[in-house]
Amino acid sequence: MDDSPQLSIVIPARDEAAGLQTFLPHLVSAYPDAEIIVVDDGSQDNTADFCASHGVIVVSHPYAKGNGAAIKSGARRASADWILFMDGDGQHDVAAIATLLQRASEGFDMVVGARQGRSDQASIARWGANTLYNRIASWMVNHEIEDLTSGFRLVRRKKFLEFLYLLPNGFSYPTTTTMAFFRAGYSVTFVPISVTERIGRSHINLWRDGVRFFLIIFKVGTLYSPLKIFFPIAAVLFSAGVANYAYTYMSTGRFTNMSAVFMLSAIIVFLFGLLSEQITNLLYKDRG
């Protein structure tokens, strides 16, 4: 066996000096053999200096690239077999890491800390959006997903790196990672965790990032199985065409252009879904 640590802990941080002060010393003390990496995503405060003073590895971005970009930088720098991702705002409990490690030892490839109920730092709108995310994703993968967007997760590094090119630079990396692992047939489980109110201001803007909500919904679907999104739409369009044809035939005795438009649209949407399904299969082909 080599001398590299078996656990790497990656913490993306942008102006999170106040949050890091609440848990980083305890984290270093609790896991002295772990490779702790803080990715300073263009912070304007003393995040980098504080982390360096505690002997952890600091990877600095010259400007803010996004949470997902920080995750990718940390994953590339990590050298252990397992990577634990946690937020730098102080909301994740260091004591919960042991629970994730225990579940991973049971043969899972990714263990996600599932937040219970509505946490103090989550508004009703964000909590409702996360609930909808979970339900749609659960329907897509035919498996209950308790927390699709949790940033507290433990993954096998080798398997996580397979999907690095898929990850966005923004805040939806947990969504992409979870769906990619399910799509590849890797073992995923969830463990309940409690979170506290974050320290400092959140970098998520409800209105700006809310626009991305609908895009993420479609991304979740097309990332896993596009036909599950395209086929219902095609079925609705085709049914509308048949219904319109039945109505116009009984009332005027003819087939109208509107019925043709509905049916042709249904065929086109279905074919797009079929093509997307084939492209998605290529993304997850075994390159080993």
Q: Give residues with Cβ within 8 angstroms of 33, minimum separation 6.
A: 5, 6, 7
Tell me if 280 sits within 8 A of 225, measured CB to CB: yes
CB distance 155 to 83 below 8 Å: yes
pLDDT exceeds cutoff 70 at 13? yes
Tokens matching residue 196 = 């506290």
How many CA atoms within 13 Å lie on the side-chain side of 4? 11
176 vs 224: CA distance, rounded Å: 9
Secondary structure (3-state) at 183:
helix
- List beta partners, residue 190: 112
How many angstroms from the chain centroid is the CA of residue 76? Answer: 18
Phi, psi for 85 (deg, rounded to 5): -105, 135
Residue 52 or residue 255, greater confidence: 52
Which pLDDT score is estimated for 175? Answer: 87
**Contact indicator for 42, 54 with CB cutoff of 8 Å:** no
The 3-state DSSP class for residue 273 equals helix
- Mean per-residue pLDDT for 166-179? 85
Please say whether the beta carbons of 155 and 85 come within 8 A: yes
Q: Which residues have CB under 8 Å from 34's CB, separation 6+?
A: 5, 7, 8, 9, 80
Distance CA 223, CA 249 (A): 41
Q: Where are the domains of the chain?
A: 7-222, 227-283
Q: What is the pLDDT of residues 63-73, one digit of tens each?
A: 999 999 999 99
SS3 for 111? strand
Residue 29's pLDDT is 94
Residue 37 has pLDDT above 50, yes or no: yes
Kindly report, residue by residue over 213-265, the tens digit of the pLDDT: 667 767 777 877 888 889 999 999 999 999 999 989 888 888 888 999 999 99
Stretch 82-109: mean pLDDT: 94
pLDDT level of residue 100 (50, 70, 90 thresholds): very high
204 backbone φψ class: left, alpha, beta (φ>0; ψ -120 to 50)? beta
Predicted TM-score (pTM) of this structure: 0.82
Q: Does domain 7-222 have CATH number 3.90.550.10?
A: yes
Average pLDDT over the chain reads 86
Q: What is the pLDDT of residue 2?
A: 47
What is the separation, in whole angstroms, between the first and last Cα of the chain?
23
Give the C-alpha separation, 116 to 91, whole Å: 13
Q: How many CB atoms lie within 10 A of CB 105?
A: 9
pLDDT category at 209 given cuts 50, 70, 90 is low
86: pLDDT strictly greater than 90: yes
Question: Distance between CA atoms of 286 and 288, rounded to whole angstroms?
Answer: 6
pLDDT at 120: 47
- On the question of pLDDT at 148 being above 70, the answer is yes
pLDDT confidence of 210, banded at 50, 70, 90? low
